[in-house]
Structure 1
Amino acid sequence: MASAAAGKGKSPADAAESSAASATRLAREWSTWAMKKAKVVAHYGFIPLVVLVGMRSEPRPSLAQLLSPV
């Protein structure tokens, strides 16, 4: 019974705690979303980055030389 009575009225302190919990949850959701996007970018962007860096090095290799295993 006591929990039902406490849940009926919200004091300003309860609203502040609820707001803080909501902000924490929102920050956690955004960080999860950002990490998922960063994982995709890193996954698909690593090899093109290596090719780009290799093409700008001296002596400048051709693309075939850069991609060949030998």
Structure 2
Amino acid sequence: MAEMASGAAEKGKALADGSESAAESAARRAREWTTWAMKKAKVVAHYGFIPFVILIGMNSEPKPRLAQLLSPI
């Protein structure tokens, strides 16, 4: 536990001193952006998958009615 507290203090001190190199800063921003983008992509995929499948099914030949597309039979 003490190691975590000292590690956090050192990290905060390094950021406050401005001793972070340009490469480290760019890498940190890239990780933050990647994490943000993946969280958004997860939400889009979660809520958009079923409507996407219905849209593809409605635009196929022969054109089914919505009730036919959603029924299990």
Deviation >4 Å, runs of 4+: none
User: Given the alignment, which residue of 9, 19, 23 partners 2:22?
Assistant: 19
Is residue 52 of structure 2 the alignment partner of residue 49 of structure 1?
yes
CA distance in 1, matches of 2:59, 2:33: 36
Which residue in the other structure is 1:28 paired with? 31
Structure 1 vs Structure 2 CA RMSD: 1.2
TM-score (norm 1): 0.74
TM-score (norm 2): 0.71
Unpaired stretches in structure 2, ≥5 consecutive residues? 1-18
Unpaired stretches in structure 1, ≥5 consecutive residues? 1-14
Is residue 51 of structure 2 the alignment partner of residue 39 of structure 1?
no
Paired residues, number: 55
CA distance in 1, matches of 2:26, 2:56: 41
Instruction: Give the greater-gyration-radius structure (CA).
Output: 1
Identity across aligned pairs (percent)?
76
CA distance in 2, matches of 1:57, 1:30: 37
CA distance in 1, matches of 2:25, 2:61: 53
CA distance in 2, matches of 1:56, 1:33: 33
